[in-house]
A and B are shown apart, each in its own frame.
Chain A
Amino acid sequence: MPNYIFIESRDPFDSPDTSFLADTATSLKRRGNDVTVFLVQNAVLATRKQARKSQLPRLIESGIAVLADDFSLRERGIQSDECQANVKTATIDQLVDLLLRENTRAIWH
């Protein structure tokens, strides 16, 4: 089965279509695929515990690994203790590693 890496760049307040990514990612996960969502740019705004409309709880409950770009978090002044549990801070190096795994499909949103 292929690995899927979704790179989410949009935040749920500006872009209601972030729910489509969550729908697709959770569906693929239910079918037994390895799915990772990497949050970058304004998508990291959804990591905050108090963020409404965030799709992240749904992703995390389904067992999807959710990573948040450290650079994007720093740019926006979001500290790790402000983030929802189970959202892991990651570097762009880790994203490159994920992209280069064998049999991996990358989807940017």
Chain B
Amino acid sequence: MAEKKLTIAIMDPPYEKASTTTALRIVSAALKKGIHVNVFAYEGAVNLAMKDQAPHANPVKGTTVEQEEHPTTKEFVRSLLEIGKGSPQLTWINCGLCVDERGAVNVVDGVKRGSPADFFKMATESTNTLVIPTR
């Protein structure tokens, strides 16, 4: 295997668990090292890239949208895909059935639709595969 490649499967929906942050940190670190990365988003993780997410103000603190700088997972995914649009490459595949179940069709550019067969192919072609399951 000439070039190193890491495949990560994630399953948690956005804004629920710290595992999502850790997964995105691993993806970012690998890309910055020049490592190709595959992400297979399964179950609720297909919502990470949903375009309809919107930052919000914080009425409890009285802050505006701008002051709050509320991070959205779609922006994290978009920026990682921007880093990984050449070499190293980030391939992000959302499970199609999971997308249909959740109506999570409107996603940021660069996210592909696939199936567990794609995950199997990515895993067999990678240096290593990390599965981050739901609890």
Contact = CB atoms under 8 A, between A and B. Distances in A.
A93 interface: yes
A95 B30 CA distance: 10
Determine the main DSSP class of B at the interface with A.
Answer: mixed
B54 interface: no
B contact residues, range: 10 to 19
Contacts of A95: 26, 29
B18 A99 contact: no
Interface residues of A, number: 18
Contact of B128 (A42, A69, A106): A106
A108 B25 contact: no
Interface in A78-96: 91-93, 95-96
Contact of A100 (B6, B22, B132, B133): B6
Nearest to A103: B128
Determine the main DSSP class of A at the interface with B.
Answer: mixed
Contacts of A104: 128
A33 interface: no
A42 B29 contact: no
Contacts of B4: 100
A92 B18 CA distance: 14
Contacts of B19: 9, 41
Contact of A9 (B22, B25, B29, B131): B22
B41 to A, nearest CB: 15
Identify the interface centre among A9, A71, A96, A104: most chain B CB within 10 Å of its CB: A96
Contacts of B106: none
A93 B32 CA distance: 9
B26 A96 contact: yes
Nearest to B30: A96
Contacts of A102: 127
Contacts of B133: 108
A100 B26 contact: no
Identify the interface centre among B18, B22, B33: most chain A CB within 10 Å of its CB: B22
